[in-house]
Structure 1
Amino acid sequence: MRMGASDARTKHLIGTPVVTFNADATKAIVETNAMIIAENVRLNIGCTTHNRFYDMAEKRNGVWKLFHRQSIYDMGGFTFPLGIVDIDQETVAKYPREYAALAYLLDKSGFPVNRVFATRGSDLEKHMKEAGERWLAA
């Protein structure tokens, strides 16, 4: 099932990107803050999650294109549009705290999160940024 046909609803609020170019302005790291607002109308539960996109972009034939997007999750929490509802603690505990509410909502909506994403200060974030800096300098 596609998310648009499910009980899940999402909205992404995207901030202004911060762009770091390489020396000859043909490659760039683009970092963008975003908020994901989501809810499941059947379960009467929602979440607000803050993340950062860490994108790699290249100028090819005079046109800039994003060719690799990664997310780093900073923090998130549940919202209760119609009042407090019970949370399945076993399910929410499967995910890192920074995106547990979003992953829980997706899981309970039929879209399980089957991988680990970078979180603020994690080894995944550090490795991602180190690799990005090497790529930009090459």
Structure 2
Amino acid sequence: MKNISMALAALFAFLAASAVTRADASREGIEDMMAKAEIAALVNNWGFYRDQERWGELSSVFHPGGTISISWYDGPHEGFVEASKMIAANGSALLKHQFGVPSIRVEGTRAVSEVNVVIMVRSSAPAGTVDTTSHARFLDLLERRDGSWKIQKRVAVYEKDRIDPVDMPALPAAVFEGLDEFPKELRFLAASMKKAGIELSKTVVLDKSPEAATLYEEGDAWLGGA
């Protein structure tokens, strides 16, 4: 009887420990899902705030000291917001970001998000109106501070782009002049930027480049607490 009692006690202790483990796992799973949902909303809202020129809200998705690196800008997010205001005030281009579903990894209070983005720019050229479409990915390093997830660093990785006529039957030959000086992943975007007086950033990251590989390594290190 003593052996049976000891066996039953051990079984009950095991079941109790298993229940606690399952509860902890369930709680961690819920917290992970909640974090990913909040981050996905943050990533999506960035596009709405930028396209609708909601500058205060756009700035709010970054932590103080947060940075952003894209085709034409590399630096503190505050500077990006101010420069975006100037571009919007010029009124020469209509900008639209279209996001996919982000892939998100969470480790404690840190996360890495990667999302496909299509960047559509309608601008006026001497021969007529054109649409420039860029396919890229935004890779974000995020952190939860004071109970809220925000972006610490955002980098765009460019894959390919194209240009299409809007109010003319075909693009003039002048559109294709000088494209060889730019990377093929964003040559039409870079050429359009140059015509508008905006220089291509020297730190722009291209798909499958050494810089892109380094960026992914930085994401892994960020999750590891580095």
Q: TM-score of the superposition, structure 1-length normalised?
A: 0.88
Tell me what 1:52 maps to.
137
2:175 is aligned with what amino acid? I
The partner residue of 1:104 within 170, 191, 212 is 191
CA shift in 2, pair 1:84/1:6, >3 Å: same
Secondary structure of the 1:126 match is: helix
Give the direction of change, closer, same or farther, for the CA distance of 1:97–1:116 in structure 2 (3 Å limit): farther
Distance 2:99 2:137 in 1: 9
Unmatched runs of 5 consecutive residues or more in structure 1:
none
Greater strand share, structure number: 1
- Which one has a bigger Cα radius of gyration? 2
Q: Does 1:37 align with 2:124?
A: no
**Structure 2: tracts of 5 or more residues without a match:** 1-82
Whole-angstrom distance in 1 between the partners of 2:143 and 2:165: 41
What is the aligned residue count? 135
Q: Which moved more, 1:99-108 or 1:48-57?
A: 99-108
2:87 aligns to what? Answer: 3
Q: What amino acid maps onto 1:51 in structure 2?
A: A
Paired position in structure 2 for 1:15: 100
Secondary structure, in 3 states, of the residue corresponding to 1:84?
coil
Q: Distance in 1 between matches of 2:124 and 2:206?
A: 27
Q: Is the 8 A contact 1:39 1:105 kept in 2?
A: no
Aligned mate of 2:151, from 53, 66, 79: 66
- 1:28 and 2:111 equivalent? yes
Structure 1 residue 88, shift from structure 2 partner: 4.9
Distance in 1, Cα, partners of 2:141 & 2:115: 11
Distance, in Å, in 1 between the alignment partners of 2:104 and 2:152 is 15
Distance 1:39 1:71 in 2: 20
| 3-state SS in 2 of match to 1:128 | helix
Residue 45 of structure 1 contacts residue 105 of structure 1 at CA under 8 Å; is this kept in 2? no
Could you tell me which of 105, 116, 119 is aligned with 2:206?
119
Q: Residue deviations 1:21-54, cap 9 Å, x none?
A: 11xx210001011001112224433311101000
Residue identity matched to 1:9:
L
Identity over aligned residues, as a percent?
A: 24
Distance 2:165 2:112 in 1: 36
Paired with 1:113 and 1:9, the residues of 2 have a C-alpha distance of 19
